[in-house]
A and B are shown apart, each in its own frame.
Chain A
Amino acid sequence: MAEPSLDIRQPLLDSLLAGLIALVVFGPIVGVVLDGYSFHLESSRVAWIVGAVMLGRFLLSLFLHSAGGRGWLQRLEGGGAGVQVLPPEHRSHLRWLLPLVLLAAVVFPFFAGKYLLTVVILGLIYVLLGLGLNIVVGLAGLLDLGYVAFYAIGAYGLALGYEYLGLGFWSVLPLAALMAALAGALLGFPVLRMHGDYLAIVTLGFGEIIRLVLNNWLSFTGGPNGMSVPAPTFLGLEFGRRARDGGVPFHEFFGIAYNPNLKFLFIYVVLLLTVLLVLYVKGRLVRMPIGRAWEALREDEIACRAMGLNHVLVKLSAFMLGASTAGLAGVFFASYQGFVNPTSFTFFESALILAIVVLGGMGSTLGVVLAAFMLTVAPELLRSFADYRVLLFGMLMVLMMIWRPRGLIRISRRGFARRPGVAP
């Protein structure tokens, strides 16, 4: 029997239907722009969108009806396993990449101007946030939509600690991690006992509560005007041209020329070390029983509980660890900006961090690092698309979930070789 020739009628019908729906859905909102109590029409925009939808649907339909498309669809529906297990003797092709990236990270500040330095610092802050959320969402499978609350706790911890207690960067850094973890425990402990989806909405509510309190408590947090944050110091040495209270600034103490970027260089170095530390700790944790328990709980909670895992404590440890990482990131963010206000901690920020984790691959460390830089550095370079940024993030999330729910880079780990002489 001959292979039936490509049928073009069905794709055409699909495309017409999609165009009709697009006309009804997009027509009113895109085509009729409200203007005070009246409106004006923008019919050409509607025509463009409907045309694009029809063409897209036609091509998609054509592709899915072809033999290649059917195979692709089947592959899409397969691939359910969470972790790809590699043979024990497997050596990654990318193992030279890590030393190279490290080298670049060490050499880079000698050549970078202030602008590039600040962009990379921002990127690293998001790497830290992405790594933290990756533990919660990627490894433990808990959807945290108020992650930005812990970030805010870190940032405001520094600002408030300086204002009311006279604390500086170094004393707040561990304190913020601790406070964020504590807040995570207080919020997580009761909620983690329940059905997973509830956690998403509770954390969403919690994130908004924190932001609204920061915004409304004028006498304590300065409200929408925000608070100023002290510049970090190194063993008490300041990075300004002149130190306050007759102290000796950093550059004079070490006898080097004054460089206005010193503060950012310092933040960069500490941040880089923190990121490496977090990477190392996380790399160890996933090999430990607790890391295995997180992933096992993500895959099948009922089975894990039947085998005697305390699901609340295991989830709580992931939740607290993620929260404390966000607290650290918040401290860096505050001292990098020199200023905090509540607009930095909206739900959009949580969604952005989630997009990093989703794009990078749930649970994959390398993927999260790459995605964090992609999603924070790319918008800096593509300023003209700033209006469409959120739209693109949203589409990215939906398409990634349909195409690759486990992210761009699958988690893979080496299996263990059976030792000779040991009974299997």
Chain B
Amino acid sequence: MDGIFLQQMVNGLTLGSVYGLIAIGYTMVYGIIGMINFAHGEVYMISAYLSAIGLALLASFGLESFPLLIFGTLLFTVCVTGLYGWVIERIAYRPLRNSTRLAPLISAIGISLILQNYVQISQGARQQGIPTLLDGAFRLPIGEGFLQISYTKVFILVAAFAGMAALTWVIRCTRLGRMCRATQQDRKMAQILGIDTDRVISWVFVIGAAMAALAGLLITLNYGTFDFYAGFVIGIKAFTAAVLGGIGSLPGAMLGGLILGVAEAQFSGIVNTDYKDVFSFSLLVLILIFRPQGLLGRPQVAKV
């Protein structure tokens, strides 16, 4: 097999697993309140900043070992970003629960503008970065060249799948997960049965933000740089992944993320890097036109 193809496959899988993590936030929120959370891309951007800040803070305390550093940063980023998710729901969604259909969409766009500008003002408009933490790579000989898989990429794949596994466990086996599923199926009925659906919706936002935080840390580890505008493009792509897999379905989000990541990496390997965003966005438009229910989703039927 072609060396470039395999190399791009590896790149695509790492990128795709991260897209999948962010897509979970879109898919869960959509599943539970039937709305697109436009501010989710910005939550990811915030978490990228938070992870760099966490790393810098921990490093300044003299923490040297990689596992401790990563674990501490992850804990910090996930907690603070989760709180962001909670605050966003509290400000932009909860007061509008009984409002017009457009109102929450517009207020979410407002939130995403606020978050972008607020980070730009407080951190400056320039690109930020972190040093490489994990050096080295596996090299597998293929034909004449090498297939290079850096340790960072391996770490990302492992961490992303661990995160997804943890989430699946939470949704499948815990009390909170059961309440989430009940609320997703029928909010009114769940309320009648004694579930505090407002609290469940808050938790869904927190979980989505936490997954985005994991993604933010992982992408920052891989690319090393980010800026205040990073959330916009990644947000649309993660949404594409969520739609591709079937919005509302958790395995769909993960699958969609992987497929989108691989497709995009192959496109930039074979055709052209300049147009890789155009490719992803066109894919989004095409999926919505030809298969709006996605790969694993069920077609939506409007009921009165």
Contacts and interface: CB of A to CB of B under 8 A. Distances in A.
B118 A29 contact: yes
Q: How many residues of A sit at the interface, in one of the four size bands? A: 35 or more
Given A34-B53, A354-B109, A397-B110, A391 B117 contact: yes
Given A38-B56, A354-B106, A29 B236 contact: no
A331 B210 CA distance: 45
A29 B102 contact: no
Contacts of B83: 21, 24-25
Given A191-B288, A401-B96, A402-B96, A29 B106 contact: no
Count chain A CB atoms within 10 A of each CB in B50, B117, B243 and give the residue with the most: B117
A206 interface: yes
Contacts of A196: 101
Interface string A345-370: 00110010010001000100000000
Contact of B236 (A39, A141, A204, A393): A204
A29 B52 contact: no
B25 interface: no
B110 A37 contact: no
A109 B112 CA distance: 39
Nearest to A36: B129
A3 interface: no
Count chain A CB atoms within 10 A of each CB in B115, B119, B274 and give the residue with the most: B274
A390 B289 contact: no
Given A32-B56, A397-B113, A209 B281 contact: yes
Contacts, number: 177
Interface string B41-58: 000001001101110110
B65 interface: no
Contact of B99 (A24, A198, A213, A401): A401
A380 interface: no
Contacts of A160: none
Given A29-B49, A197-B36, A200-B105, A398 B56 contact: no
Count chain B CB atoms within 10 A of each CB in A39, A145, A394 and give the residue with the most: A394
B39 to A, nearest CB: 10
A39 B106 contact: no
A405 B99 contact: yes
Nearest to B56: A39
A279 interface: no
Interface string B94-125: 01101111111111011111111111111110
A216 interface: yes
Contacts of B185: none
A183 to B, nearest CB: 13
A28 interface: yes
A269 interface: no
A205 interface: yes
Count chain A CB atoms within 10 A of each CB in B54, B107, B124 and give the residue with the most: B107
Interface in A166-190: 187, 190
A398 B39 CA distance: 12
A194 B288 CA distance: 8
Contact of B289 (A191, A301, A387): A191
Given A208-B236, A394-B112, A402-B96, A34 B106 contact: no
Contacts of A209: 278, 281-282, 285
Contacts of B15: none
A195 interface: yes
A143 interface: yes
Contact of A402 (B100, B107, B292): B107
11 contacts: A21-B83, A29-B123, A33-B123, A39-B56, A195-B300, A209-B281, A388-B117, A390-B120, A394-B109, A401-B92, A401-B110
A257 interface: no
B284 interface: yes
Contacts of A201: 36, 236, 239, 243, 284, 288
A306 to B, nearest CB: 9
B302 interface: yes
Contacts of A141: 101-102
B189 interface: no
Count chain B CB atoms within 10 A of each CB in A187, A197, A390 and give the residue with the most: A197
Contacts of A45: 122
A30 interface: yes
Given A37-B129, A212-B277, A394 B282 contact: no
B106 A390 contact: no
